[in-house]
Structure 1
Amino acid sequence: MFSSDFSAGDLQPELKSIFFTWKSAMLDGAFPRLTELGLPNAENAPSILSIFEIERTASGILSDFKALYVRSRLSNTLRDKFVGTRLSEHPGFGPGSMIWTGFAEAASSRQPLHASLPYVGPLPAYRSTSEIYLPLLGEGAEVEYLLIAVVLLEQDYQHRRLAGRGPDRR
């Protein structure tokens, strides 16, 4: 479940900090550039914060997403597993998965997205996620990067705007 129709009030507290940092880095309504964005180092940080480069073919077709930065509050950090790799290299994260769909939608729509997904990772305490996908500009005027923030939740995510849109499948 992805939505570009959300406000800061719809976000988990950990995601609000990231969203406001991103919004405050915007100039004249343009998305912030990766080089101008200062990553938040808040006490109330999200479970996972990452930056992915959007890879495109020579003709501009979306081809993959390369992890440039991953910070995790979890003891079994994702940094060593993801930094320098592409999303498609990880089972269950390639084309057709819910993760890929969110990345692709944020990359092509040029809109920030809010998502609620079922958690399918190795940690049994978690049942769902609340996520934001925030576009970042490269050196030109094109969206070349995505800032992704994820909060792992111990319960199913219940949100008035996102609830009721059908089951999620990764």
Structure 2
Amino acid sequence: MSKIEQSLDYWQSIRGDRPTPQRIDFDPADIPGLLPNVVFLDVLDRGGDFRFRVIGDAVRSASRGNYTGQLVGSLPHITDDGPLMTALRKAVATRAPVHAPVPYAGPFKEVTLRDHLIMPLTGENGEVSHLLVTIDLVDSRR
């Protein structure tokens, strides 16, 4: 089972009978094998932007830097209407997981794509407050 499939199974298991799981339902200890491929984002202004809260080691090593604490929209290679911001906002708006293959722009020449699964989590007020993102790198040699 792929990391994307494992992540979706986990999200569905913590969701239960509700449309969207709450942030409090997410426990990183439940998914130790996925953590290197996980990014945890704060949702700001109902999806106006997003802040990197946690970046897994595999994602960080395949990125141009450590973006922890930075806004997604502040990164020079991210555009407001580009595929990543569009997918993040769709997950907030639909309150459902979004599968989003995004072109890769990092240091590894053999990687052509970052396959994202973006899963919303709600706060106590019922609004989407965080996004749990699993990223799998697609190697062109496969």
- TM-score past 0.5 threshold: yes
Q: Is 1:36 aligned with 2:25?
A: yes
Question: Pick from 95, 109, 132: which aligns with 2:94?
Answer: 109
Q: Take 1:21 and 1:130, find their aligned partners in 2: how far apart are those partners?
A: 17
**Structure 1 residue 121, shift from structure 2 partner:** 1.5
Gaps of 5+ in 2: none
Which residue does 1:122 correspond to in 2? 107
TM-score by length of 2: 0.85
* SS of match in other structure, 2:102: strand
Structure 1: 5+ residue runs without aligned partners?
A: 1-11, 158-170
2:85 is aligned with 1:96: no
Percentage of matched positions with identical amino acids? 19
Q: Residue 66 of structure 1 contacts residue 87 of structure 1 at CA under 8 Å; is this kept in 2?
A: yes
- The TM-score normalised by the length of structure 1 is 0.72
- Paired positions, count: 139
Q: CA deviation at 1:77?
A: 6.5
Bigger-Rg structure (1/2): 1
Distance 1:143 1:23, change over 3 A: same
CA distance in 2, matches of 1:122, 1:131: 18
Q: Alpha-carbon deviation of 1:46?
A: 7.1
Q: Which structure 2 residues correspond to residues 144-159 of structure 1 after superposition, within 5 A?
A: 144-155=129-140
Change (3 A) 1:156 1:132: farther
- Structure whose residues are more often helix by fraction: 2
Aligned positions of 1:23-62 closer than 5 A: 23-39=12-28, 40-42=31-33, 45=34, 48-56=37-45, 62=47
